[in-house]
Every structure is written in structure tokens, then in C-alpha cells.
Structure 1
Amino acid sequence: MLSFDGAYPPQEVLDAVQAGKIGAICLFKHRNVETPAQVRRLTEALQQAARAGGQPPLLIGIDQEGGQLIAIAAGATELPGNMALGATRSTELAAKAGYVLGRELLAMGINLNFAPALDVNINPRNSVIGIRAFGDQPALVGELGAALIQAMQEQGVLAVAKHFPGHGDTSIDPHFGAPVNHHNRQRLETVELAPFRRAIEANVVAIMTAHVTFEALDPEHPATQSALVLNGLLRQEMGFNGLIISDALDMYAASRIGSVAGVRAALEAGVDLALMGHIENQLAIVDELAEQARPDAVNRILAARASLPTTLPPLDVVGCAEHQAIAQEIADRSITLVTDDGRLPLCPTPETKIAVITVQPTDLTPADTSSSVTVTLGKAIRRRHSNVCEINIPYQAPETSIGDALEACRDAGLVVVGTIAASEDESQAALVRALHERGQSPVVVALRTPYDIVAFPMIETYLCAYGVRTVTCEAVAKVLFGEIEARGILPCAIPGIESQDIIA
């Protein structure tokens, strides 16, 4: 599965597509995406090259999960992510999310979405998954994932359940290290594998592998490069007959044996489509490994390509009012009130100054597009109360920035702090504790993972929002001012606070 640089395909890529050397393309936000219209022009050029060579439609994939990982914004609907859906406990809303994703991606000419993540996020220190997971309960993850998969595939976009056999209980990012799962087979059956069995029941077309070594399955190889995991477990035991796609093979955990060797090992283990990510000289690698193409893999790829729709929805469905309303509905239903000392809803007098402190989003893992988002919580609150002071600090802020923020809000009658992974950032924790100690105990809203309160357990009004997108900030403001109730339910346990086992 080839990738390239540019907002339009290079001629050498078009030539390879026309000649039938390439059957699948992976697009990336920072390499290929400008606007929805530009993406459609790009995909049309690729498909035209395939038609000119008498080839079947090309598989064109991207990461459009919602929430933390959205490759195409710039007018496309920015859905809340999986953990927000987990907080709603609603298969109906998960299906609506799948509907929006499928309809918009196909309108842009993308027919393969690397979503949803079916990882059961049990480890609070799992930075690479986190809010990309629906939660920490296998049944919840499986049901919401199945609903999203079916709805997206009904719109003509192939879903990719990931990261098999499960990436939810790791603390090492495979982009930079080599994670290992130490659990026994019984535990894997009840936790990690259960959502993937549900996805197979829901007829998911493709499954993406994890660059994680599972000691109970194959202690010698990461799942991506393990025949025991891919052929033995996924194909033979679990009965999956669809496409097996590798995660990006430029990550350390897969490429530490060498880039070409890593691709070869994945293909030999049973991967059908080797996603080469940012590996250099990909066309040369395609030529070098052409003889390794397995007939069974070729047949599965051709069958998937033959199933692709050739008529696209109009481009104006991208970001349409119907889809934006669905995004807002999901956000509104997801906001979770963990604890409150009676301050909500907020009823400030006109003279009351509200200080809103937010953290500049950053990409905490390469599987992250948060750095492109501007947090609009302050603006959302200002629409409801004019006397607002907005303060922004960097992630892992220096002491001077924390001091400046504390001084800027010294005369505020109310402080709202939007945190981002504060359980892993002492500067945010220090800010919140300092506010509390001087009698300005803030309302804290966790704008990423829900675990932040662990860093400041004395806080008495704490909400979880599971994202930084505009619809999420609007939903938070609605809850703060009593326009809607906080109906979300914790989808994963915070140490000391249990999640609830409810599926609607």
C-alpha cells in the first residue's frame, strides 16, 4: 500500500497505477491533504489512471477516525472520537458517526477508512490509543464498533477494524518502541479479542494489525509479522476471510529489522496489504517484492477492489448541515460530570469575571492531529457571558507561563481550566493545585483522556469531554450554563472511580 508526497499524484505513481503495479494507496494529512475538493481531484486522478490501464478501482485509504485523528478537516465534519461515543453508550449515535464518515469520505473519493479502533483501553498511560478507543469494556467496544462499521460500509466505504489483536493495554508507543502484551490467552480471549470477534460477525471487510508482541501468542514476533497470530489465530481460529492490512511499517516496532525486511516479514506472516507509511523508495520496494505476492492475498485484494462503488456522492455532502448536527448531537450526549460541589449550572452575575485557561493542543503521538485544532472553549463561554478572560498555555508549560496564567486570572470570580492529558503533565497539575490553594478552586474540564483528576483529586467540579473539537467545546459550555444535562457516562475507569456497564 503506497504513499507519496503531494496534493496531486506524481506521474511515476500514476504510471504504476495504470500498469497495475499498485492496487492500494494510503493518504496522509500532512503529505496529501489541503481541502475536500483537492482530495477529490487527487483521488479522481488516481482512479482515472487505473481506468486508463484497464485496472479495477483502486483502494484509497486514510485515517478519518474522528476526535484525535482526523486527516481531513478544512470543511469536512469534525466528529467527536470513539471515547465520546463510548460515553454516550449509544449504538444509534455510533451508526450515525459511521454514516457521516462513509458518506463524506466517498464523496472525496476515499473508499477505505482505517477505522474504527477496537482496542480496549485498559491502561491509562496508553498515549497512542487513549480517546481513540470506545472505552475499557470489551462488550461496549464491540457493540459500538460493530454499529459504526456496518453504517460506514453501507455507504460504500470499507471499514478497517484495528489494531489486532488489541493495542489497549500498552504504555509504549510502537512508533518509537516495541510494546509487549504479557497477558495469558484466557485474558486475551475475554478482553482484547472480543471486539474483533464482534467486528467479524458484523462483516467488517478489513482488519489492521498491531505492532505489539503478544507473549501468549508468539513471543518472538510482533503481531504484524507473526504467522501464528495472522494465519493461526485470525484466519484459522477466528475465521476471518477479509483483508489483513498492516499498520504503517515505518514504525520502529516493525522496521527495527530494516525497512524492506519489515515489509517482507509482514507479507510472509499473512498480511495482504503492507502499508508502507513513510518508508522511502516505495516503488522500488514494490518491484523488489513483487514475486512475494501470494495468490490468496491477490484474490482478496481484487475482490475488495471489485466491490468498490464507482459513483460518488456530490461533494457538497462534505460538512453539510445534517452531518454537523450529528457531530453536535454526539458531543452533547457525551459530556460527563464526574463530580460537582453544587456550582453547576453556572449563574454568574454580569460583573463576574470568568477566566478560561486552556492548553494548546499538541500531537502527543504521530497518530494524532490535535495540533491543527484551536480550542474554542473560551469563545463558547463568551457567547454566554461577556466578561471572559481567555488564557492559553503550552503543553508542558515552563514555570514562567504558569506564573503568568496565575497572575492573569487573579481577579477572576470563576476559573474554568480545560486540561489535556494533565495526568502526564506536571505543569497543568501545578496550575490547578495553585488555583485551589489560593481559594480559586477551578471547574476543570478534561479535554482529552478522563484521567486528569488523578493529578488533582481535591478538585470538586470535574467534567470529561474526550476531545478538543469545536462541537465538543460548545457542548461543554452548554453543560456549564445548564442548557443541557451532562448525560455522558464514564466509558473507562479512572483510578478510584469506576466506569459503568451500560449500553443503549
Structure 2
Amino acid sequence: MRSGARPIAKTGGPRFFPLAGAVLLFLVAAPLMGQKSLEKNENSFWGKTEPFYVPDRLKYSWAEARAAALVARMNDEELLSQILMLGYPGQDAPAELLEWIARRGLGGIKVFGRNADNSLALASAVADFQSASFEQELAIPLLIATDQEGGWIRHVKGRSSESPGNMAIGATASSRDAYLSGFYLGRELRTLGITMNFAPVLDLATAPESSIIGPRAFSDDPVLAARLGIAWARGSMAAGVIPTGKHFPGHGATDLDSHGILPSIEIDKSTFLRRELYPFEQAVRAGIPAVMSGHLAFPRISGGEPASLSREMIGGFLRDRLGFEGLVITDDLYMEGALDGADILETCLRAIRAGNDMLLLSSAPSEEGKLWKGLQTALRKDRNLKAIVEGSARRVLGIKLAYLREGGRDSLIPNPAAVEKSLPDADAQVFFADLARRSVSVIGRRAELPFAPQGTVLIAAPFDEFISLGRRRYTNSRGFSFSYRPERNAKPEELEAFKKALSGCAGAIVCVANRAGMQLATLAHEQGVEVAIVSVLSPIHAAHSPWSKAAIAVYHYAPICLEAGLDVLTGRLKPQGKVPLANHLIR
């Protein structure tokens, strides 16, 4: 479904198509497409083919056969290029990378936040990248991927919609909300030419105080997280964007950031199977087409190496135990959780041998650099490695054939006029504003609402928008701005200034995003002031505040969420959500 498409009315949406099934559906329509201009090179990705019936028992689809034929025509450089997904600096497509693509092809391009502040510039860069891929002899298109989870993680900004995020969906526990979130986020991405999203997050909020996962998770309940993750992925598929479950086998039980360190999760196999692995197991059964491997160590299960570099995790658990046959892509291999003191060449080779099909690199290798030369040398010298790379390239091509070929080349080139007309998506904005209002949750058993102190109210937040919105609703108020960071402890000088600002106030509304923000709320209570808390991001920081008149969770600091939270405080809106942290005491 392309930009302008509407969501499927049925709440559950269609099941994912297994790779073969998606292609067989395509084969019915292919002869009618009549795209003779795309068939000039019969041996290219777009070359004309004759459909044929394949009995299920043969377990060999047209996509696999076509992918194998393409791989057989590739040289070593083209093979290696197909298993790479590369980032790039700035807004424009670099000339060196365009030349690389036109000469060798490439598996994909990763769009980071640094590339995506300007939607029209992003669409232009995507068009340049895809056009370069069509110049190569085999004309294999690129997977264009990003991280657009919703809520806090929104790499594509610009004209895209803000949404409440996954934990807000968990607060409604609605598969429909999950489906439509995946759909609307996907529809906006597809308008920009982005065909793959590193979402849904299948991690659990096992350590909800974490500033790494936290509200990016749907819940700490594996059953709820699995159900919502699958629905979210189905919505993404309906919008024409390939979903990618992450971060296998689960990043939620640590507050350490794998960008800077290798987190070690000390759990036994029994806990791992029933908790971390469960959402991935269910997503695989539902047919999710891609999974991202995470840089996490599970010493009691697979030793001290990162799961992303572990044959036991990728080959043993994901492939063999769960039966996953789709695409496995690493998280960025330049993260310290993957490198862990090693060089990037060694890390890439370990990732390939562990069973990953694509290597995500936030920085493209130089043609004459150690990484690119080293990969080619290793491929020439090691027949086993080459066989692994050929298998991975076939999977990459298989997913491209199944999900990128049907609409033809033009469907992969974003239209600037459509970007200006369609973004932000009006239907998406209506839906996300409604979700923000329905997901507001009371933290604890009670809340004295409306919050209406008899006197001046101090509205304190690390976000100017919150203060502005709050002062419109509480006319007898004044504002106090404090720092978002450091996250664990408020600055002493800000605590002192806040204490002075409380003088003469009857009440305080504190926007709490982290432990530091909660220290200000606690200080207000200690000064004898009535306190209301609006928790953004993880509600765990306000979990133990029975002294507050009201503590409510909105899960994100987007304006639509802040407005909804303040409307609950003033009594304009009734809280309908439920904090989705079943395994953690909330007040």
C-alpha cells in the first residue's frame, strides 16, 4: 500500500506473508504489469520472468530461484555489497557512495536522524540513491531503512508526525492502536521512499527505569508486548514498509547503553525463554520478515560475547529453535557493544559467521580502506565464508524481490510533490492525538482530580512547551525551567532556585522525565506544597509518590501528550489508560 492508502478496516489486519507466499501473490499480477521498459536486461532484478506453479512440498519459491540466479552472476565485490547497509553524513547523497552503488550495487542505506531534518532533502537523497542502483548492471534496488519506532525514537523528523509511542499503546492494550500506529508511521515513511523500518521494538520494559529502552517497549509483560508488536508490524506491512523486530534477543533488562558498552544480562535460560525470547518467538510464528540482532551479552546462556556476534544466539536460538527464515540484520557494528575493543574488520567477519545476513555500518567503508580490502581478501581465501555470504545475499535479494519489485522502479523513487502534499499525514495526526488522550494513565490507585490548589501554581518542566501549555490552563501560575540532564541527579543550583521559586505557591505541577525531575517534585512536597506530577517517558520514576495529589503518565514529551496530561489535571479529560508495567509496583 502506497502513500494515500487507507488502513485495512479489520482490526487484526492480514497475517504476514511468508517470503514465498508474498512472491506467489506477486506472480499472479506480474504478467499484467506490462512494464516493458523494465525488462531490457532479462537477467537483471527487473527482467521479465515466466510464472510457474511450485508445489508447497518443494519448499522452493520463485524468489529463492531468482535470487540464486542473481547471486550466481555476481562477483565478490557485488556479493559483499549486497550484505551491507550503510549510513551517510549530512542531508545529500555523497558522490562517493553514489559511485559505489552504481558500480557494485548495495544492500541498503540507513537513514539516521542527522540525515532527516528536511523531508524534501531526504526525499531527494533517497531518489538519488535508488537511481544510482538502477545504473548498475543487475539494477538491484536498495533497502532504505530508518528507526521510526514512534514516540521518543523518531529518526525521520521534518514533516513527519509525532506520536505517543509504544508504552502509550501498551496503556490502551489495543491491537487496533498498535496496528494503526505501524500503519500511519509506515505510510509517511513510504511517501519518502523509505521501505524498511527498524521497528517494532520487541524488548520488554523489564528495567523500566532505563533511559535506553524504557517507554520504547510496549510493556514488561511478554504476552502483551508480543501481541502489540505483531499488530504494529502488520500495520507497517499494510503501508508497504518492511518491519524489523528488535533488538534480538532482548535489550530491556539493562539500563546500560550498547552504544558505549556491552551490557551483560545475568539471567538463566528458563527466564530467558519465557521472558526475553517470547515476543520474538511469537513474531516469528506470525511471519515477521526481518529481525535486528542486538549487542547484548547473556553470560549464563551463550557466554560473554554479544548476541549479535554469537552463533549460538543467531544460529541456535533464532534460526534453529524459533525457525526464523527471514532476514537478520545487525545493529550498528560501530557501537562499542559490538566492537568491545576489537577492530571493525574482525567484528564484521564475526557477525557474518554468526549468521547475520546484513551488516549495518553507520559509516561507509573507503574503497581503499582496511575494512573493504579485508573483507574481499577474507572472501577469496575462505570458501566457507564465501558460501555464508552467498546465502546471506540470497536472503537479501529474496526480501527485495518479495517486497520491492511489484510496484516497479518508479514506486521506489519519492515524489517531492507528494511529500509536500501528504506530509504530515492528516489522518495520522488525528489518530495520534486521539491515542495520546486515550492513553493517559493514573499512576497508582487514586488521583485527586481536578488538581486545583487555592493559590499560585508553579509549573516546572525541562520542556518550555509544557510550561507554556500549563500556564494557559492555570492562569494564576508562573513557570520554572530546569535541565533535562543530568538525568540521575538534579543540579544543586537548580534545586536551590526551585526551592526559592516555590515561595508563596499553593501548588506545583512538575513534569518528570527522569530521576532528576522527580527530585524537584519531592522537594516541592517537602516544602508543604500540593504537588501534581505529569510523568513523560517511563512512569517508574513517579512510582513511589503516594504524597502527590495526582500522578499521571503520558509516556512522551510530544505536545499532543503534554496537552493530554494537562487536560487530565484540569478535569477536561478523564484518564482512560492503564500503566502497562504489570510486574513493577506503581505507588
Common topology (TM > 0.5): yes
Contact 1:378–1:388, Cα closer than 8 Å, also in 2: no
Matched, 1:221 2:316: no
From 33, 41, 56, give the equivalent of 2:116.
33
Q: Aligned letter for 2:129?
A: L
Deviation at 1:345, TM superposition (A): 1.5
Q: Give the match for residue 280 of structure 2.
A: 196
Q: Give the match for residue 295 of structure 1.
A: 390
Q: Give the match for residue 490 of structure 1.
A: 579
Alignment of 1:393-472 (within 5 A): 393-394=482-483, 395-396=485-486, 397-422=490-515, 425=516, 428-454=517-543, 456-472=545-561
* Cα-to-partner distance string for 1:61-113 (whole Å, 9 max, x where unaligned): 11111111111222210111111111111111111101111100010111111
Deviation at 1:412, TM superposition (A): 2.8
Flag the 1:415–1:289 CA change in 2: closer, same or farther, 3 A.
Answer: same
Output the CA distance in 1 between the equivalents of 2:160 and 2:123.
12
Matched, 1:174 2:258: yes
Moved more, 227-236 or 283-292: 283-292
* Cα-to-partner distance string for 1:215-235 (whole Å, 9 max, x where unaligned): 343114211001111112111
Q: Aligned letter for 2:395?
A: R
Contact 2:159–2:423, Cα closer than 8 Å, also in 1: yes
- Secondary structure of the equivalent of 2:245? strand
Deviation at 1:407, TM superposition (A): 2.1
Deviation at 1:45, TM superposition (A): 0.5
Cα RMSD (Å): 2.2
Contact 1:39–1:109, Cα closer than 8 Å, also in 2: no
Output the CA distance in 2 between the equivalents of 1:492 and 1:199.
21
Q: Give the match for residue 64 of structure 1.
A: 148
Q: Give the match for residue 91 of structure 1.
A: 175
How does the TM-score come out when normalised to structure 1? Answer: 0.89
Contact 1:432–1:456, Cα closer than 8 Å, also in 2: no
Q: Give the match for residue 367 of structure 1.
A: none
Contact 1:165–1:209, Cα closer than 8 Å, also in 2: yes
Deviation at 1:467, TM superposition (A): 1.1
How does the TM-score come out when normalised to structure 2? Answer: 0.77
- Secondary structure of the equivalent of 1:159? strand
Identity %: 29
Matched, 1:254 2:338: yes
* Cα-to-partner distance string for 1:397-456 (whole Å, 9 max, x where unaligned): 42222222232242333310001112xx3xx34422221122213101111211112565
Which blocks of at least 5 consecutive residues in structure 2 are unaligned? Answer: 1-84, 380-384
Matched, 1:42 2:125: yes
Matched, 1:115 2:199: yes
Q: Aligned letter for 1:468?
A: Y
Output the CA distance in 2 between the equivalents of 1:282 and 1:464.
50
Contact 1:164–1:210, Cα closer than 8 Å, also in 2: yes
Contact 1:354–1:387, Cα closer than 8 Å, also in 2: yes
Alignment of 1:199-214 (within 5 A): 199-214=283-298
Output the CA distance in 1 between the equivalents of 2:453 and 2:509.
13
Output the CA distance in 1 between the equivalents of 2:136 and 2:100.
10
Output the CA distance in 2 between the equivalents of 1:217 and 1:295.
29
Flag the 1:50–1:248 CA change in 2: closer, same or farther, 3 A.
Answer: same
- Secondary structure of the equivalent of 1:389? strand
Output the CA distance in 1 between the equivalents of 2:391 and 2:197.
22
From 73, 77, 81, give the equivalent of 2:161.
77
- Secondary structure of the equivalent of 2:581? coil
Alignment of 1:280-359 (within 5 A): 281=366, 284=369, 285-290=371-376, 291=379, 292=385, 294-306=389-401, 307-308=403-404, 309=407, 310=409, 311=411, 314-315=418-419, 316-339=421-444, 343-347=448-452, 352-359=455-462
Matched, 1:476 2:582: no
Flag the 1:421–1:342 CA change in 2: closer, same or farther, 3 A.
Answer: closer
Deviation at 1:342, TM superposition (A): 5.5
* Cα-to-partner distance string for 1:311-351 (whole Å, 9 max, x where unaligned): 258323221221111111121111111247663123567xx
Deviation at 1:377, TM superposition (A): 2.0
Moved more, 437-446 or 274-283: 274-283
Moved more, 7-16 or 272-281: 272-281
Deviation at 1:243, TM superposition (A): 0.6
From 272, 275, 278, give the equivalent of 2:360.
275
Q: Give the match for residue 380 of structure 1.
A: 469
Aligned residues, how many? Answer: 477
Matched, 1:2 2:86: yes
Flag the 1:342–1:76 CA change in 2: closer, same or farther, 3 A.
Answer: closer
Q: Aligned letter for 1:431?
A: L
Contact 1:339–1:461, Cα closer than 8 Å, also in 2: no
Q: Give the match for residue 51 of structure 1.
A: 134
Deviation at 1:281, TM superposition (A): 4.2
Q: Aligned letter for 1:267?
A: I
Output the CA distance in 2 between the equivalents of 1:146 and 1:42.
31
Contact 2:327–2:396, Cα closer than 8 Å, also in 1: yes
Deviation at 1:375, TM superposition (A): 5.0
Output the CA distance in 1 between the equivalents of 2:367 and 2:237.
29
Output the CA distance in 2 between the equivalents of 1:405 and 1:217.
48
Q: Aligned letter for 2:431?
A: I
Moved more, 255-264 or 405-414: 405-414
Flag the 1:262–1:326 CA change in 2: closer, same or farther, 3 A.
Answer: same
Which blocks of at least 5 consecutive residues in structure 1 are unaligned? Answer: 360-373, 499-504
Flag the 1:494–1:347 CA change in 2: closer, same or farther, 3 A.
Answer: farther
Output the CA distance in 2 between the equivalents of 1:477 and 1:448.
15
Deviation at 1:287, TM superposition (A): 4.7
Output the CA distance in 2 between the equivalents of 1:340 and 1:121.
21
Deviation at 1:251, TM superposition (A): 1.3
Moved more, 163-172 or 271-280: 271-280
Matched, 1:266 2:351: yes
Output the CA distance in 1 between the equivalents of 2:278 and 2:271.
10
